[in-house]
Chains A and B, each alone.
Chain A
Amino acid sequence: MPIVIKNGRVIDPASQADRIADVLILDDKIAGVAPNLSAPGAEVFDAGGMIVAPGFIDIHVHLREPGFEHAETIESGSRAAAAGGFTSICCMPNTKPVNDSATVTSYIVERARRKAAVNVFPIGAITKGSEGEELAAIGAMKAAGAVAISDDGRPVMNSRVMRRAMEFARSYELPVIDHCEDLNLSAGGDMHEGLASVRWGLRGIPSASEDVMVARDLVLAELTGARCHIAHISTRNAVAMVEFTRRRGLAVTCEATPHHFSLSDDQMRPYDSNYKMKPPLRSGCDAVAVVEGIAAGTISAIATDHAPHAGSEKMQEFERCPFGIIGLETALSLALETLVYPGKITVNRLVELFTTGPEQVVRLGRGTLSPGAPADVTIFDTNVTWTYDVNQSFSRSRNSPYHNRTFRGGPIATIVNGQFAWRRE
């Protein structure tokens, strides 16, 4: 059925549009953006007072399928994505088995085709089993649908292997997404190394563990000419180094997560594993640097690093708990509250960070409302007030530090390929 989204403020950074207009969707494509559009038999959605944007893209999600379906599935994770305003998500390869072959990539693509509420694009591993030694079948994974490569969470420590991976990725026109962590410097750490870790007697993960690997990757990106994307940047130094490299014209990009720009280590509830992730929540000074990096354009995408873990895994001694929190459903609201309302960025810039920014990294041919583009639309409202109850989450996991938090602003409806994937009740 055709859909007409009436009277919304349409923000489409790709076509530099920002005006009150209607959006017409025919079949699974955007048919037009203009005042007073209609179509016979169309479903009319009144978006008066709301913002109508291209569907949001999250390039950093863990869907846990195959292998860890007790924590998340492609179906549950994609439904959480839809409820967060995301229409396309890219899933990291640390499944069981690791997505290091065309077989696993194809399996994910096929499961997503049958079960997913939003578009799902697999990210392939850099090395076999993400063990950091032998390169995975990168070309074959791309042919099967992979849109990037990454050994997220188990970063390639051997710089020679990383160099070769970047060279291969360049031949296949794939970006290399790196989780930057020197595993020797971070070994045994459970949270950011700083006053809070010293106070609570928890072993620290120094900012340096991220900084040295960001530096390495930037140098290797220059050496190889690869498109290098730094995942979940969290330190002041790392932001400065990316800024320096981008100024020199290299094809380097980076993303930030909502938790890294909205929380810092001194705001953690002590020994609560819903505040435990990698990179860890950094100092307040680092969080400010991430916000500044977003405002300055150094950071070009917001990504959630949605990392579900079953309740029993997170209900343990802090040092035994796995790293990661879920984040798809709270990302937009956190970005509005931390970035837009305090005047750090405009709402137009926020839309870029969720659409054209990630699109430039993974090149899905989405993230725009241009006529003919896939009909992925995110409708959100800066005035709606809602409270996040993690027990009502579409995710199978409950590991969020934002439970019971009341937000101003959030998604209202999500349209994926011309169909409503979610609507706020």
Chain B
Amino acid sequence: MPAGLLGIEELDRSEIEAILSRAKDFQPLQSQSLKKLDTLRGKLIVNLFYEASTRTRTSFEIAAKRMGADAVSITAAASSVSKGESLVDTLNTLAAMRPDAIVMRHSASGAPHFLSRYLPTPIINAGDGTHEHPTQALLDARTILDRRAALEGLRVAIIGDIAHSRVARSNIHLLGKFGAESVLCGPASLLPVELAKLAPGVRLTTDIRDAIRDADVIMMLRVQLERQHEAAFPASEYFQFYGLRLEHMDLARPDAIVMHPGPINRGRELSSEVADFQRSVILNQVENGIAVRMAVLERVIG
């Protein structure tokens, strides 16, 4: 199997530390006037997105360009798949054009893992179904470490639709490898009990106040109740019980930060005041996304 990046679960701590450390090297570049390196000059990266995504795709494109690589983005509507060509055939066609890496997002969990068994090209997982979103967890870790000396011993509350969240899974694995505590919170129908065994240091609660108490980091997840296959929770009362409001912040550690993978729904998973709160680091996450993805591209292709 070519060395790509499929998930956080299969990485060990030193590999993650190397990426995060390299990403730190790339941070100053983001605010320079000349932002482009030539580390990956002549390399070709294909961004293949089977699911709509503006920010992740753009972030990967910019990261590729800042590393000096050429990037081609293809947005394959899921409907074109059902029109005939199988995923394997599509990817084989792309691989024949000899890209150095394929960045892939797909609505099916495991699609990149399945393909990586048959393709010679390294695959970087940009989100697969409800499984993993490894670069999101890496940029989240980078963002936390910009404000804290270490992940070890931190209490991180992750709140929302955990069951269907690839962001949550990648973060749970990453935090577990670094000795941080993950407190997962959501309505029981979106919080399978098996999650407690997913990684070390995981605790489950259905009470948002319990989750936030003494937290160092509060990660809110995007909630897309309308996209679920069934009514696992009545959308009308979600914010009342699981939305983050300013008054909750008094329960957390005084220097606690608020994170969100975006795009945010003001008034759905967090109040507008929290989104604009001084300790909200949502835009720092976006900025770190580029540095982290540069480090990932360098690791996979360089």
Contacts and interface: CB of A to CB of B under 8 A. Distances in A.
A, B from the same assembly: yes
Interface of A: 187-188, 193-195, 197-204, 270-272, 312, 315-320
B263 interface: no
B203 to A, nearest CB: 15
A188 to B, nearest CB: 5
Instruction: Provide the main secondary structure of the chain A interface.
Output: loop
B192 interface: yes
A315 B89 CA distance: 10
Given A201-B129, A201-B169, A320 B108 contact: yes
Contacts of B109: 200-202, 271, 318-319
16 contacts: A187-B229, A195-B194, A201-B110, A201-B128, A202-B129, A202-B130, A271-B110, A271-B111, A312-B86, A315-B86, A315-B88, A316-B88, A318-B110, A319-B109, A319-B129, A320-B108
A319 B108 contact: yes
Interface string B185-229: 000000010110110000000000000000000000000000001
A381 to B, nearest CB: 35
A377 to B, nearest CB: 42
A201 B86 contact: no
Contacts of A193: 192
B110 A188 contact: no
A317 B194 contact: no
A195 B198 contact: yes
A317 B106 contact: yes
Nearest to B128: A201
Nearest to B88: A315
B168 to A, nearest CB: 10
Given A201-B128, A201-B131, A316 B86 contact: yes
B132 interface: yes
Given A187-B229, A201-B132, A271-B113, A318 B192 contact: no
Contacts of B197: 195
A251 to B, nearest CB: 38
Contacts of A201: 109-110, 128-132, 166, 169
A320 B114 CA distance: 12
Given A198-B194, A201-B128, A317 B166 contact: no
Contact of B229 (A188, A272, A316): A188
Given A198-B192, A202-B109, 15 more contacts: A195-B197, A198-B163, A198-B194, A199-B194, A200-B110, A201-B109, A201-B129, A203-B229, A271-B109, A271-B110, A271-B114, A315-B86, A317-B111, A319-B108, A319-B109
B11 interface: no
A198 B195 contact: yes
A195 B197 CA distance: 7
A266 to B, nearest CB: 11
Interface residues of B, number: 26
Interface of B: 9, 86-88, 106, 108-111, 113-114, 128-132, 163, 166, 169, 192, 194-195, 197-198, 229-230
A317 B131 contact: no
A319 B78 CA distance: 14
B194 A270 contact: no
A317 B169 contact: no
A364 B108 CA distance: 45
B87 A316 contact: yes
A194 B192 CA distance: 9
Contact of A317 (B9, B114, B163, B198): B114
Nearest to B108: A317
Contact of B108 (A194, A312, A318): A318
A368 B129 CA distance: 52
B87 A270 contact: no
Contacts of A271: 109-111, 113-114
A194 B194 contact: yes
Nearest to A312: B86
B51 to A, nearest CB: 12
B206 to A, nearest CB: 17
A190 to B, nearest CB: 9
A200 B229 contact: no
Q: Most B CB atoms within 10 A — which of A187, A198, A202?
A: A198
B170 to A, nearest CB: 10
Nearest to B169: A201
Nearest to A194: B194
Nearest to B111: A317
Contacts of A312: 86
Contacts of A272: 114
A270 B86 contact: no
Contacts of B229: 187-188, 203
Nearest to B229: A188
B110 A270 contact: yes
A312 B106 CA distance: 19
Contacts of B9: 199
Nearest to A315: B88
Contacts of B111: 271, 317
A200 B131 contact: yes
A201 B163 CA distance: 8
A412 to B, nearest CB: 35
Nearest to A273: B114
Contacts of A320: 108
A193 to B, nearest CB: 8
Contacts of A203: 130, 229
Shortest Cβ-Cβ A-B pairs, 10 listed = A201-B131, A271-B110, A317-B108, A201-B109, A201-B130, A198-B194, A195-B194, A271-B114, A317-B111, A271-B113
A317 B110 contact: yes
Contacts of B163: 198
B194 to A, nearest CB: 4
A270 B113 contact: yes
Given A270-B113, A317-B114, A318-B110, A199 B87 contact: no
